[in-house]
């Protein structure tokens, strides 16, 4: 029996921008697909979802999110497989994480059907915006904010949940120089670092800018209490290969549970690699480097999948990592995840979800 899809009122654009899409000169997050999904929360309930042409939204100057930061987001991608099918990668995990973030910020949770059906129907309408090119994708940005115009400090009574999309080119970044940050903090235990909250990003811009002025591409954050344990790298999770073991900080309230992180750990375990999720003292990385056992270091996240780290600076010591060609694990896992997404490898964990 065929289940009937949730009906979503749709207004198709009369001014498609697709013809202007130039895949050869794509800047991340600058061009947006034709449509967006908009769902309002009011009177204690989610209202009917709508798909409308992408465009500005009107908000009151007193909008809660703009003053008190009730704003969160997600980041995910749609891919076109080698045989032309449009697929999503672990979208239910984004839905579940969005609701974890929502709970932390006293925002209403989104029912699975609204998120998943809204997402699938939006991506179906804009399927031509998913580039069919190796490494390319349609970046998807679900977000939610408190939309009530009221200056009182309390959770808003109304919210907007929106999904819009932006085509993304193959993200190949040069391996990054990172510094271990011992003063600024991204998140603390008991805070909301595990939520994909807009405020976490606002607070990380200055330390990132200062690190940039010192010649670093990225910060390795340390714990807010002692600045003694590794947390994340920029806006990515961070992993090391030390003497053949894959090591990454254990999840906590100050670390975001990356879906790429989980995918990488899962594949490593599938391949019989030793994996450890635990606290990582900075000194352990320094000692491993001195002993010649620091074989790999990389960030994991949806945008880049794997961001190789070229060197790690701790105080006045710059620790150079082995050349890329020698990074067996990170190269293999990066290739395997791409192959799964583009339909070129088996998908034993059923991570790939077709939109139609």
Ligand X SMILES: *Cc1c(COP(=O)(O)O)cnc(C)c1O
Q: Which residues here bind ligand X, judged by CB under 6 A?
A: 75, 196, 232, 235-237, 256, 258-261, 300-302
Say how many Å lie between the first and final Cα of the chain, rounded. 16
| 8 Å CB contact between 251 and 231 | no
C-beta of 17 vs 252, nearer to ligand X: 252
Q: Which residues contact 255 (CB under 8 A, 6 or more apart)?
A: 187, 193, 194, 231, 232, 237, 249
In the complex, minimum distance from the CB of residue 171 to ligand X, in angstroms, rounded to a whole number: 12
C-beta of 196 vs 341, nearer to ligand X: 196
User: Measured between alpha carbons, how far is 192 from 101 in angstroms, rounded to an integer?
Assistant: 8
In the complex, minimum distance from the CB of residue 238 to ligand X, in angstroms, rounded to a whole number: 9
Q: Which residues contact 75 (CB under 8 A, 6 or more apart)?
A: 94, 139, 140, 141, 196, 301, 302, 303
C-beta of 218 vs 302, nearer to ligand X: 302
Helix (H, G, I), strand (E, B) or coil at 290: helix
C-beta of 147 vs 248, nearer to ligand X: 248
In the complex, minimum distance from the CB of residue 213 to ligand X, in angstroms, rounded to a whole number: 22
Q: Which two tokens stand for residue 172?
A: 């190949």
Q: What is the CA radius of gyration of the chain?
A: 21
C-beta of 77 vs 80, nearer to ligand X: 77
In the complex, minimum distance from the CB of residue 338 to ligand X, in angstroms, rounded to a whole number: 14
User: 305 has which bridge partners?
Assistant: 301
In the complex, minimum distance from the CB of residue 11 to ligand X, in angstroms, rounded to a whole number: 31
In the complex, minimum distance from the CB of residue 45 to ligand X, in angstroms, rounded to a whole number: 29
C-beta of 121 vs 302, nearer to ligand X: 302
In the complex, minimum distance from the CB of residue 316 to ligand X, in angstroms, rounded to a whole number: 27
Q: Which H, E and C letters describe 56-81, residue by residue?
A: CCCCCCCEHHHHHCCEEECCEEEEEC
Instruction: Report in angstroms the alpha-carbon separations of 6 from 87, 228, 244, 289.
Output: 19, 50, 48, 55
C-beta of 196 vs 327, nearer to ligand X: 196
């Amino acid at each position: 029996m065929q289940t009937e899809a949730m009906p979503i009122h749709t207004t198709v654009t009369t001014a498609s921008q697709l013809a202007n899409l130039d895949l050869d000169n794509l800047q991340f997050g600058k061009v947006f697909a034709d449509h967006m999904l908009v769902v309002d929360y009011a009177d204690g309930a989610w209202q009917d979802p709508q798909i409308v042409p992408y465009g500005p939204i009107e908000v009151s100057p007193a909008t809660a999110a703009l003053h008190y930061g009730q704003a969160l987001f997600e980041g995910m991608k749609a891919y076109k497989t080698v045989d032309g099918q449009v697929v999503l990668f672990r979208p239910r995990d984004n839905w579940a994480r969005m609701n974890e973030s929502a709970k932390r910020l006293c925002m209403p949770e989104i029912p699975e059907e609204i998120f998943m059906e809204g997402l699938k129907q939006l991506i179906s309408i804009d399927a031509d915006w998913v580039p069919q090119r190796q490494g390319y994708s349609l970046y998807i940005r679900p977000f939610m904010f408190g939309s009530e115009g009221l200056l009182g400090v309390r959770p808003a009574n109304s919210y907007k949940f929106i999904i819009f999309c932006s085509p993304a080119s193959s993200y190949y970044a040069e391996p990054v120089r990172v510094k271990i940050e011992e003063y600024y903090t991204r998140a603390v235990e008991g805070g909301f670092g595990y939520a994909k909250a807009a405020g976490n990003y606002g607070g990380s811009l200055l330390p990132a800018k200062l690190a940039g002025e010192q010649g670093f591409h990225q910060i390795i954050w340390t714990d807010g209490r002692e600045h003694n344990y590794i947390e994340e790298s920029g806006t990515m999770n961070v992993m090391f290969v030390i003497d053949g073991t894959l090591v990454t900080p254990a999840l906590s309230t100050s670390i975001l549970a990356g879906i790429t992180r989980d995918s990488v750990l899962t594949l490593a375990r599938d391949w019989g690699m030793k994996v450890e999720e635990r606290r990582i003292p900075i000194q352990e990385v320094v000692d491993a480097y001195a002993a010649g056992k620091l074989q790999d270091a990389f960030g994991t996240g949806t945008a880049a999948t794997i961001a190789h780290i070229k060197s790690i600076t701790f105080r006045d010591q710059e620790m150079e990592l082995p050349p890329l060609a020698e990074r067996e694990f990170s190269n293999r896992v990066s290739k395997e995840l791409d192959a799964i997404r583009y339909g070129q490898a088996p998908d034993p964990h059923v991570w790939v979800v077709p939109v139609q």
